[in-house]
Amino acid sequence: MNLLEVNSVSKTYGSGETAVRALKNVSFVVPKGEFVAVVGESGSGKSTLLNMIGALDTPTGGKVFIDGKDTFAMKEKNLTVFRRRNIGFIFQAFNLIPELTVEQNIIFPVLLDYQKPDRRYLEELLTALDLKDRRNYLPSMLSGGQQQRVAIGRALITRPALILADEPTGNLDTQNSSEVIALLKEASKRYEQTIIMITHNRAIAQTADRILQVSDGVLTDFGRCVE
């Protein structure tokens, strides 16, 4: 079953002679539970693609379906709720709330949705992320790798069908990068979550199930990686 379908998505910024075609009729599908890496040079269109998939920006043309739902056919209020419940975002800059503890940062999306956190699942995440003894720490008391693990926990806490990771290892050293990628792969397998990850690092991309490349707004599918 395909969790994600991207159909002929295009994005043009500006008009006339100054128009920039960031995406050019991009189409691909991703089965449930697959871990996909998207590579490409800066300005190639890969971040624009991630924004389209996450419904953070509107395409000039084409459609995006997540779990069979046409995201851009939804009204803004419904889309906001759908995005919060079905898509987890992991950013290079962590984007943690400095005044909140590790635990509070992780459960924040649940509280934002006026729900009660699943305490059992929270404990499972804290254990898997090796953050149990730091649950009451503030972000300023954590290393970069630990902060990124908090960000991963925040993305996982709502049990989203899709996780979008934009350069999740960009601010980390080699050891922490390896640990973060291992955690993402484990999440993909353990929780059957589909992961789309942008990375400049070809070695990291090779750890994914499949590699997509975006170059000058055009997508190329390199297929499944060989173990």
Structural domains in the chain plus CATH codes: 2-224 (3.40.50.300)
CB 86 within 8 Å of CB 67: yes
**Residue 5 vs residue 16, higher pLDDT:** 5
pLDDT digits (tens, 9 = 90+) for 75-108: 999 999 999 999 999 988 889 999 999 999 999 9
List of residues 6+ apart from 148 with CB closer than 8 A: 90, 94, 168, 169, 171, 172, 176, 180
Strands (DSSP E) contained in 45-204 are 61-66, 69-70, 87-91, 162-166, 194-198
Rounded to an integer, what distance in angstroms lies between the CA atom of residue 186 and that of residue 168? 15
CA 204 to centroid of chain Cα atoms: 15
Nearest to 34 by CA among 66, 69, 71, 4: 4
pLDDT digits (tens, 9 = 90+) for 49-85: 999 999 999 999 999 999 999 999 999 999 999 999 9
CA 199 to centroid of chain Cα atoms: 11
Nearest to 154 by CA among 190, 187, 200: 187
- Over the chain, what is the mean pLDDT? 91
pLDDT digits (tens, 9 = 90+) for 118-128: 999 999 999 98
Q: Is the pLDDT of residue 225 over 70?
A: no
Q: Helix 144-156 and helix 102-112: axis angle, to 10°?
A: 30
Q: Which residue has the tokens 């008391």?
A: 141
Phi first, then psi, for residue 202 (nearest 5°) are -65, -35
CB 156 within 8 Å of CB 163: yes
Structure tokens at 208: 């994914």
3-state secondary structure of 8: strand
**Residue 9 vs residue 145, higher pLDDT:** 9
List of residues 6+ apart from 80 with CB closer than 8 A: none
List of residues 6+ apart from 226 with CB closer than 8 A: none
Q: What is the CA radius of gyration of the chain?
A: 17
Q: Is the pLDDT of residue 226 over 60?
A: no
Angle, alpha carbons 85-154-198 (nearest 5°)? 85
Phi-psi bin for 14: left (phi > 0), alpha (psi -120 to 50), beta?
A: left
- Identify the pLDDT of residue 13: 93
Taken in order 170, 176, 182, 183, the sign of the CA dihedral is negative
pLDDT > 90: percent of the chain: 66
